Structure 1
Amino acid sequence: MTDPLAVLAASLAAPGQPQTLFAALERETQALVGHKLFTLLFVDGADVARIYSNRPAEYPVSGRKTMGATPWGKHVLEEQRPYLGRDREAIRWAFFDHDLIGSMGLGSVINVPVIYDGTTIGTMNLLDVEHHYREEHVAPVARLAPVLVPAFLAARAGL
């Protein structure tokens, strides 16, 4: 079995950044824990802005939403803790767009903060059917988040 971090490190050296890295991360997280929706968001004040989505029809790149002043924002963005939502109630608690998420057949989530220099600069987000994710899925995904730092810094610099 190939080490996901080695695969992602190699993808950072390949041309076509940041899309090359994002696609590799999508594949590696799919192999590790699975997902039906995979998005990457960078933090811009109280907003988060989508810079990658494997389902752009429903969640387009460049979409924005205000998440800073929410309980989810406190947990993930401020306290820098991954969020594991196991069911639709957890999705409803965390996201104002829970109806759209539910309409896509999604009911569980892992959100991982991407942290640089003590600051949350973005999040990696995986969603799947209700009860798909468990506690043991969080750590393998969270260990991959630091590879996103260069791409997220570049996205923020492009504002």
Structure 2
Amino acid sequence: MMNIMHAMASKGQPEPTFKALAELVDKTIGVKLFTTLVIDRERDVVRRNYSNMPEAYPISGEKPRVKDRWADIVEGQHQTFVLNSYEEIKATFPDHELIRSLGCESCINIPVTINGQVIGTLNCLHDAGYYTQERIEAANALILPGAAAFLLHEKYGQGA
């Protein structure tokens, strides 16, 4: 397992850093499906820039930004968004069937904020009821390495 510092020093950014981040997320809070989304305010979309399951959730998949409860909590309040049941996921995400087919029925979306603005999110999905208060609090340790990955993505794109 490569740590974030060694990954950041590697060539071919940002891929090594995102892979190390995925390993850190799994070690810190546990994850089945891990994706990251960058917020593109200019085009008013969110775009996936990393996925540990690229067959199901390909990199560069994008969707329009929506002004909903998720946006209010994550982008507006800069707070972590948590759903711990399939019913909550179904009511929130249109891709709920795909999420469930991957064995996931809970999620935590961790906002990465730089210079007063959420630039993206770390999206972690797992079994129903998985994201306990203890895991939610532990997720705060992932924000700084997540910010490093997003900044490397901004500088180097999908790989250099």
Give me the TM-score of the superposition, normalised by structure 2. 0.86
| CA distance in 1: counterparts of 2:151 and 2:24, whole angstroms | 21
Q: Match for residue 139 of structure 1?
A: 137
Q: Deviations over 1:24-75 (max 9, x none)?
A: 1111111122111000110012321001001111100000122441211111
Q: Match for residue 64 of structure 1?
A: 62
Does residue 106 (structure 1) correspond to residue 104 (structure 2)? The answer is yes
Q: RCO (CA 8 Å, sep 6+): is it higher in 1 or 2? A: 2
4+ runs of 1 displaced by more than 4 Å? none
SS in structure 2 opposite 1:131? Answer: coil
**1:111 touches 1:124 (CA, 8 Å); kept in 2?**
yes
Q: Match for residue 24 of structure 1?
A: 20
Of 148-157 and 63-72, the range deviating more from structure 2: 148-157
| CA distance in 1: counterparts of 2:89 and 2:77, whole angstroms | 19
Equivalent residue in structure 2 for 1:80, among 67, 74, 78? 78
Does residue 120 (structure 1) correspond to residue 128 (structure 2)? The answer is no
Q: Deviations over 1:89-138 (max 9, x none)?
A: 22123312112212222100011001000000000011011112111111
**1:49 touches 1:63 (CA, 8 Å); kept in 2?**
yes
| CA distance in 1: counterparts of 2:5 and 2:138, whole angstroms | 16
SS in structure 1 opposite 2:19? Answer: helix
**1:106 touches 1:127 (CA, 8 Å); kept in 2?**
yes
SS in structure 2 opposite 1:101? Answer: helix
| CA distance in 2: counterparts of 1:40 and 1:82, whole angstroms | 14
**2:120 touches 2:150 (CA, 8 Å); kept in 1?**
yes
Of 50-59 and 61-70, the range deviating more from structure 2: 61-70
Q: Which runs of 5+ in 2 are unaligned?
A: none
**2:45 touches 2:65 (CA, 8 Å); kept in 1?**
yes
Identity of aligned residues (%): 35
**2:112 touches 2:120 (CA, 8 Å); kept in 1?**
yes
**2:13 touches 2:152 (CA, 8 Å); kept in 1?**
no
Cα RMSD of the aligned pairs, angstroms, is 1.9
Q: Which runs of 5+ in 1 are unaligned?
A: none
SS in structure 2 opposite 1:143? Answer: helix
**1:9 touches 1:147 (CA, 8 Å); kept in 2?**
no
Q: Structure 2 vs 1, CA of residues 17 and 54 (structure 1 numbering), >3 Å: closer, same or farther?
A: same
Q: Structure 2 vs 1, CA of residues 148 and 33 (structure 1 numbering), >3 Å: closer, same or farther?
A: closer
Q: Match for residue 39 of structure 1?
A: 35
